[in-house]
Amino acid sequence: MAFAASAASGTVLVYGDSLSAAYGMPERLGWVALLAERLKRERPDYSVANASISGETTAGGLARLAKTLERTHPAVVILELGANDGLRGLPPAAMRKNLAAMIERAKKFGARVLLVGMRLPPNYGPDYTRAFERAYAEAAREERVAFLPFLLEGFAEKQDLFQADRIHPTDAAQPRVLANVWKALLPLLE
Active site residue 6: no
**Catalytic one of 52, 73, 160, 168:** 168
How many C-alpha atoms does 148 have within 13 Å on its Cβ side? 27
The CA distance from 53 to 81, in Å, is 10
The CA distance from 69 to 80, in Å, is 15
H or E element at residue 12: strand 10-16
**Catalytic one of 18, 20, 47, 52:** 18
Q: DSSP code of 150?
A: -
Active site residue 18: yes
**Catalytic one of 9, 54, 160, 165:** 165
The CA distance from 82 to 9, in Å, is 29
The CA distance from 117 to 148, in Å, is 6
Active site residue 165: yes
Which positions are catalytic?
18, 165, 168
